[in-house]
Amino acid sequence: MKLVVARSAGFCFGVKRAINKAFEVAETEKNVFTLGPIIHNPQVIDALSKRGIGVADNISDLKKAGAKKVIIRTHGISLEDRNRLEDEGFELMDLTCPYVQKAQRYAKLLKDEGYQVVILGDIEHPEVIGLKSYAGKEAWVVKDSEGLPKEIKNRAGLVVQTTQPVDELKKLVSRMIEQTRELKVYNTICSSTALKLKETEEVAGGVDIMLVAGGRNSANTTQLARLCENLSVPTHHIETADELKEQWFRGAGKVGLTAGASTPDWIIEDIIKVLKGYGRT
């Protein structure tokens, strides 16, 4: 029995940077909170909470909890929330991923240049809520090319939520070309997401069973699990090694393992250790 682990399994660059800095600040400072969970992984949130980093859902809760320093998570926050935090006197530790910051800058640039901004993404995702605040009141958020409104102006600009699939961007661009006279496109898709999907697909294509590790509330991990299921490979989405069941692996020649961008190495290592215990690697 053989275990094949996707090379890109686990933390991406932006998450690794944010989590390392959050653990560092926990060593030296008190009354530090994140506005919303720093990443979508309950085990990491729990580990940070044990070191004194709390989570507040909104600015009122930050005030009630007596927060001094506020960590801005990798997805970023809206301009309104940032201004309010500054006005309220909180010290900000901005851990927005540099790729998300770049998308925010492009959204603002398009708005300032007078383009009608279109954002390809999930309207409820915190990253998109943040992007929209930079793109101005007239900005549209569309989840796919079908959602493009007819009322779009002749001069339009497009930015993309960093985790969107490139195929959806291509479809939207070709539809927007038909509806506009001038179109400016910033491809702000993060290559780490595309690489993870590609590698997961490669691993899943050659194994009998796939394990996808990561938070059930992580969009990225869920996307990986859905991809494997769509390839008709028996797939188990687990958060930790405790959920593994030995009977899943009976008769399996090769087992594949991948993990979302918010899954820490220690969870991946624990899973590998348990699988080794089954004699599957």
Which active-site residues does the annotation give?
Answer: 127
Q: Kindly tell me which of 19 and 156 has the beta carbon lying closer to ligand SF4.
A: 19
- Under a CB-based contact definition with an 8 Å cutoff, are residues 90 and 70 in contact? yes
Nearer to ligand SF4, 31 or 223 (CB): 223
Nearest-approach distance from CB 5 to ligand SF4, in angstroms? 19
Tokens at 70, concatenated: 């506020």
On the 0-12 / 13-18 / 19+ scale of CB atoms within 10 A, 132 is buried
Nearer to ligand SF4, 11 or 249 (CB): 11
Site string for ligand SF4, 77-116 (x = CB under 6 A): --------------------x-xx----------------
In the complex, least distance from residue 27 CB atom to ligand SF4, rounded to whole angstroms: 23
How far is 7 from 26, CA to CA, in rounded Å? 30
User: Rounded CA gap, 113 and 115, in Å?
Assistant: 6
Q: Is 158 in the site for ligand SF4 (CB under 6 A)?
A: no
Cβ 111 to ligand SF4 shortest distance, Å: 21
Q: Which of 243, 241, 246 is nearest to 264 (CA)?
A: 241
Closest residue to ligand SF4, judged by C-beta, is 14
On the 0-12 / 13-18 / 19+ scale of CB atoms within 10 A, 121 is buried
13 binds ligand SF4 (CB under 6 A): yes
Encoded one letter per residue, x for contact with ligand SF4 by CB under 6 A and - for no contact, window 257-276 reads: ----x---------------
CB closer to ligand SF4, 53 vs 100 = 100
Angle subtended at Cα 101 by Cα 25 and Cα 147, rounded to the nearest 5 degrees: 130
Tokens of 237: 């989405």
Residues that bind ligand SF4 (CB under 6 A): 12-15, 74, 97, 99-100, 162-163, 190, 192-193, 261
